[in-house]
Amino acid sequence: MNLLGNTTLRKNAIWTYLCHRALSSISSTTALNIALITGSTRKVGPPNPIIGPRVASFITKKLEERGNKVTIIDPNEFTLLEQPEFSYRRSDVPKKLQDFKNILMEADAYVCVTPEYNHAPSPGLVNVLNHFGSSVFSFKPSAIVSYSAGQWGGTRAAIALRPILSELGALPVSAMINIPNAQDVFDEDGNAINDPESWNSYSGRCFSQLEWWANAASAHKSVKDPFAESKPLQSSPSQRNAPGKT
C-alpha cells in the first residue's frame, strides 16, 4: 500500500516533518544554564601541579563556545555537611545555602568535574551534592568529567559518581570525559596543549548529549509536571511508597 497516496496520511507526514524541523532548530540553538560543580579543594602540593582549575577552565570555555551559560560552584565555599538545605525550616535556610540552591534550581543541566582521589570522586564535590535534596536536581541531565595525573583519567572516580547523580535524579549522559595525565594536557589557562581539535570533538560528543537531554527535558516540562506523580520526598525516604512499608 502506498501510504503517501492517502491525503490525510500525507498531511500528517508533512506536519510531523515540520514539527520535527521546528523542534530541532529550537533544541540546537537554546542556550542552557549549566551549573558546573568542581571537585578540587587542594591549595598546596605536592602532587603538583594542582590540575582542577585547568580542567574547569577548559570545560567552561568549551561549554560557553557552544552558547551555554556556565555558573561554577566551588566546593571550597561549603563547610563539611552539618545540616542539608532541605532539613532547615524554610525561614531559617542560610542565605549562602539558598543562593547556591537557586543556582542549582535554575540550571537546565549539571556538569561535575572530579579528580580521582584514592579511586573515588572528590569528597568536596560529593559534599556539595549532599547539601541538597533530589528535588533540586531531578528531571535534568548531568555530565561527568574526570581527570587524574595517572593513566586512567579518573575513570574509577567517574564510575563511582554515576550512582550518586542517578540517586539525585540528575541522570548522567552516557558519554563521559576522562582525562589521563591531565597535567600534560592543558596549560594554566585551560587550553589543550596538543591536538586541541581532538579534545574539542571528544568533549563535544558529551556536551551534545547533555544539551539534547536538557532540551528534551525542558520541553516536556511544559507538557507534564514531572513532580505530579513522583512527588519530592519531604521528610523521609519512606515516602517512596515501597510496598509493605510499615
Ligand X SMILES: Cc1cc2nc3c(=O)[nH]c(=O)nc-3n(C[C@H](O)[C@H](O)[C@H](O)COP(=O)(O)O)c2cc1C
Residues binding ligand X (CB under 6 A)? 40, 42, 47, 50-52, 115-119, 148-150, 152
Shortest gap between Cβ of 209 and ligand X (angstroms)?
25
Nearer to ligand X, 29 or 118 (CB): 118
Shortest gap between Cβ of 47 and ligand X (angstroms)?
4
Nearer to ligand X, 5 or 47 (CB): 47
Between CA 231 and CA 245 the distance in angstroms is 17
Nearer to ligand X, 11 or 119 (CB): 119
Shortest gap between Cβ of 55 and ligand X (angstroms)?
7
Shortest gap between Cβ of 102 and ligand X (angstroms)?
27
How wide is the angle at C-alpha 33 spanned by C-alphas 27 and 38, nearest 5°? 125
3-state DSSP helix/strand/coil % of the chain, to nearest 5: 50, 15, 35
Between CA 44 and CA 83 the distance in angstroms is 28
Nearer to ligand X, 51 or 70 (CB): 51
> Are the C-beta atoms of 47 and 129 separated by less than 8 Å?
no
- Look at strands 109-115 and 69-73 and give their pairing: unpaired
**Is residue 36 helix, strand or coil?**
strand
- Of 210, 213, 226, 198, the C-alpha closest to 36 is 210
Shortest gap between Cβ of 132 and ligand X (angstroms)?
23
Nearer to ligand X, 42 or 162 (CB): 42
- Look at strands 140-147 and 177-179 and give their pairing: parallel
